[in-house]
């Protein structure tokens, strides 16, 4: 199952990467640090971003957050419904069990210690 899924996801992420590379090389050099294939060696020092002001670094960080968030695989509608139902069933069961136990134990304690 996992193999199948990985196979399905891969082209999408590859296309994503290609698209990002095309856009980032045009707009900004810092974006290419993660995307460009030959670059990682130079990016390791990270001397360039440290020189930038804190505001610029923050903006860059936020942009990277958004970029990573785009690559997140969210659950499908079907998965979402199943998981929600399972959680609801679990919670309902536990609440019912705990209230039942509390009721029984409460009766017992009342009988033993009650006025």
Partner 1 sequence: MLSAFRAALTTPDLRKKILFTLGVVAVYRLGANIPSPGVSYPNVQECLRQVEGSENAGIYSLINLFSGGALLQLSILALGIMPYITASIIIQLLTVVIPRFEALKKEGQSGQNKLTQYTRYLTIALAILQATGIVSLANSGALLGNCPGIIPDDSVFNLAVIVIVMTAGTAIVMWLGEQVTEKGVGNGMSLLIFASIAHRIPAEGMNILNNAGPLVFAGVCVFGLAIIVSVVFVEQGQRRIPVQYAKRMVGRRMYGGTSTYLPLKVNQAGVIPVIFGSSLLYLPDLVARLVGNDGGWFQQFVQTYLVDQSNWLHILLYVALIIFFTYFYVGITFNPEERADEMKKFGGFIPGIRPGRPTAEYLNFVLSRITLPGSLYLGIIAVLPNFFLGVTGSGQNQNFPFGGTAVLIMVGVGLDTVKQIESQLMQRNYEGFLR
Q: What residue ranges bind partner 1 (CB under 8 A)?
A: 2-3, 6, 9-10, 13, 34, 37, 40, 44, 61, 64-65, 67-69, 71-75, 79-80, 82-91, 94-95, 97-99, 101-102, 105-106, 108-109, 113-115
Distance of closest approach, residue 111 Cβ to partner 1, in angstroms: 11
Cα–Cα dist 68/61, whole Å: 11
Distance of closest approach, residue 85 Cβ to partner 1, in angstroms: 8
The two tokens of residue 39 are: 């670059």
Nearer to partner 1, 29 or 107 (CB): 107
Nearer to partner 1, 10 or 29 (CB): 10
Contact between 105 and 113 (Cβ < 8 Å)? no
Cα–Cα dist 25/23, whole Å: 6
Contact between 15 and 70 (Cβ < 8 Å)? no
Nearer to partner 1, 26 or 111 (CB): 111
Distance of closest approach, residue 81 Cβ to partner 1, in angstroms: 9
The two tokens of residue 65 are: 């957050």
């Amino acid at each position: 199952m996992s193999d199948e899924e990985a196979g399905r996801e891969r082209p999408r992420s590859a296309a994503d990467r290609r698209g990002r590379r095309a856009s980032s090389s045009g707009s900004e050099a810092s974006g290419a640090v993660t995307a460009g294939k030959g670059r990682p060696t130079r990016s390791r020092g990270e001397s360039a971003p440290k020189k930038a002001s804190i505001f610029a670094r923050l903006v860059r960080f936020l942009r990277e957050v958004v970029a990573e968030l785009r690559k997140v695989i969210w659950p499908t509608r079907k998965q979402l419904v199943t998981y929600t139902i399972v959680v609801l069933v679990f919670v309902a069961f536990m609440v019912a069990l705990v209230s039942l136990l509390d009721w029984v134990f409460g009766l017992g304690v009342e009988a033993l210690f009650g006025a």
